[in-house]
Amino acid sequence: MTVSEVRKRYLAFMQSRGHVIIPSAPIVPGNDPTTLFTSSGMQPLVPYLLGKDHPEGKRIANSQMSFRAGDIEEVGDNRHTTFFEMLGNWSLGDYFKKEQLPWFFEFLTSKEEGLGLDPNKLYVTVFAGDPESGMSEDMEAVEIWKELFKSKGVDAEFSNIGSEVQGYEKGMGANDRIFAYDAKKNWWSRAGVPSKMPAGEPGGPDSEVFYDFGLPHDPKWGANCHPNCDCGRFVEIGNSVFMQFVKNEDGSFSNLPKQNVDFGGGLERLTFATLGTPDAFLIDVFDAARGVLEARSGKTYGEDDSTTKAMRIILDHMRAASFMLAEGVLPSNTEAGYVLRRLIRRAIVQADRLGIKDAILAEVADGYAAAYVEHYPHVQSSAAKIHAELAKEEEQFRKTLANGMREFEKFFTATINGALMAKDLDSDAVFKLVTTDGFPFELVKEVAAERGLGVNEIEFEKRMKVHQETSRAGGAQRFAGGLADHAEQTVRYHTTHHILLKALQMVLGDEVKQRGSNITSERLRIDFSSPAKMTDEQKADVEKIVNDIIYQDLPVTRTVMPRTEAEKLGAQMEFGVKYPDTVSVYSVGPIDATEADPKIPQAFSLEFCGGPHVSNTKEIHEGGKRFRIQKEEAVASGIRRIKGILD
């Protein structure tokens, strides 16, 4: 089946059983400051699982977009992806095990309503109990599963593995179908295993379903295979959590007054199970993007391990990047933007290893807009923006990558020649590659590992800490507002900076916002939000406005007022700064100009600021000085920088 077919069948199946289908929440939560991404289907529903009434009732289901940054370095095998969809259904104090387990089993095996999977390929796990907390094994789930398999003509015996996960000595019997594992594998709570749960915390056992792809067992994962073995034969395709208990003050557990079901099934994994292949990257949503990589590289997916791994990383990362960009995330050096930038850069490195030296990522991403148009049309409506941002970021980083790789090879050769038994890349080299050459630390580690070398992370972190403290110490010498000092010329540049910001908004649009500044006696520097490079005409217009205002000899006035009043007047605020209830506002031109003197123009610039400033703009042009843009450049995606001087 296709991804779309599996998604449709699941939602229709649950709707026919009384569930209201709700839309996916964004992958970048707008109201949760504790996390950068939505990483599971249940994450947006935690308040309702903890007792809040859901507006759609007690039975709900959806397909939730999810992203797990922690899986970035796992991508490259047959099943790990950073972005994925989680099919989910929830009972909020309604049905429980006797309904949930048969429903999911029916969805998996029914040819009419579900996926039509062979029940002989399905294996399940349950909770083995937890002696430390006094929780007993989940024999209720065991008995339900026995009856379900029996209804399909499958003999299903029960085997309690307990804590023996990789060292499973017993081996799987011919009819072993139901396996019990300890709390580390088959118990859910936000705090982990029962002993870690605080009083008042809800939790409960879960039951997972695995699909058997029949691959040969790799003995490096233990003498015998079993459902939770990591050899690749078994892949988890669904998990039903039964939120049944609450922890008491004395460490014991009681039944919750409202017991909930939280089910999650990996859409991609369920889809490749229907194909009978244990490879997530052979499902249909990757077809167009995979075709681009094969055409441009001249290589075939699956022809060898290194080619396949590189293509998987690019395919995964560009899908995740497409969904992030569609939600308004832009590459940057902080938070979600940093994760996006890391995905893009890792993909570029892999494209380079495939022999693709020209821009490729935007073309790869184009395939996802069509693949998801039916269920996520916002990706297609953002296709032009996604293409443009990826092309721009790739162009910028390919220059850094080329320089960084040249430097890396020099350091690698020096390390090997200098110490034949060296285990780590030279620490001085690592530090320079990151701080001077702009090579991301994660990529230094990855490239070094491919050459058989490690990186001394402890030493690197120590040096970075000293580096950052030195930078902070230098920053602490500056005054608020980005001023290096209070010299007369620095103050002149400070007032010019205010005028420049307003001029940029007049020429480029009101959406321009200040994103940083640095002002010395030699020049001013402003970082501002803007998506594109300024044209020569735009720069000339800005210069003209700034100089016109300077030569009008306008008064520069400081007014102390309530913050709310300043906001109503439209005073500019520095990005990310929290202001007190009473603020200082500087205006170029009087705030109440029309009442004070109709001949004097209305205030040109109005900003929250602590000063200092000139008292009149004529102080700026003393000696016939004029403002000139010295340089305009990009410093991050969506952020431009201007350096200007008075001469």
**Which residues of the chain fall short of a pLDDT of 70?**
30-34, 163-167, 416-422, 437-438, 467-482, 484, 575-578, 592-602
**SS (HEC) of 415-462:** HHHHCCCCCECCHHHHHHHHHCCCCCHHHHHHHHHHCCCECCHHHHHH
Using CA atoms, how far apart are residues 588 and 503, in angstroms rounded to an integer? Answer: 12
Specify the DSSP element, H or E, that contains 292: helix 287-297
Q: Locate 334 and state its tokens.
A: 């902080």
Tokens encoding 200: 């008042």
The confidence score (pLDDT) of residue 511 equals 85
Residues in the chain: 647
Angle of CA points 177, 181, 187, to nearest 5°: 120
Identity of the amino acid at 158: F
Taking the model in full, what pTM does it have? 0.68
> Rounded to an integer, what distance in angstroms lies between the CA atom of residue 48 and that of residue 280?
32
Query: Among residues 187, 284, 295, 185, which one has the least CA distance to residue 234?
Result: 185
Q: What is residue 311's predicted lDDT score, i.e. its pLDDT?
A: 97
pLDDT by residue (tens digit) across 277-305?
989 999 999 999 999 999 999 999 999 99
**What's the CA gap between 262 and 49, in Å, rounded?**
8
Separation between Cα atoms, residue 305 and residue 311, nearest integer Å: 10
Query: What domains are there in the chain, each with its CATH number?
Result: 3-282 (3.30.930.10), 284-468 (no CATH), 488-646 (3.30.980.10)
pLDDT at 73: 82
Contact present, 198 and 247 (Cβ < 8 Å) = yes
Q: What are phi and psi of 172, to 5 degrees?
A: -85, 125
Number of H helices, E strands in the chain: 19, 17
Measure Cα distances from 291 to 220, 277, 321, 390 in Å. Answer: 34, 19, 18, 19
Determine phi and psi for 152, rounding to 5 degrees: -105, 10
Convert the pLDDT of each residue in 599-632 to its tens digit.
434 689 998 887 889 999 999 998 889 999 999 9
Neighbours of 235 (CB within 10 A): 20
The pLDDT score that the predictor gives to residue 238 is 96
Q: Please tell me the predicted confidence (pLDDT) of residue 380.
A: 92
Contact 159, 170 (CB under 8 A): yes
pLDDT, residue 625, reads 92
Assign 3-class secondary structure to 300-318: CCCCCHHHHHHHHHHHHHH
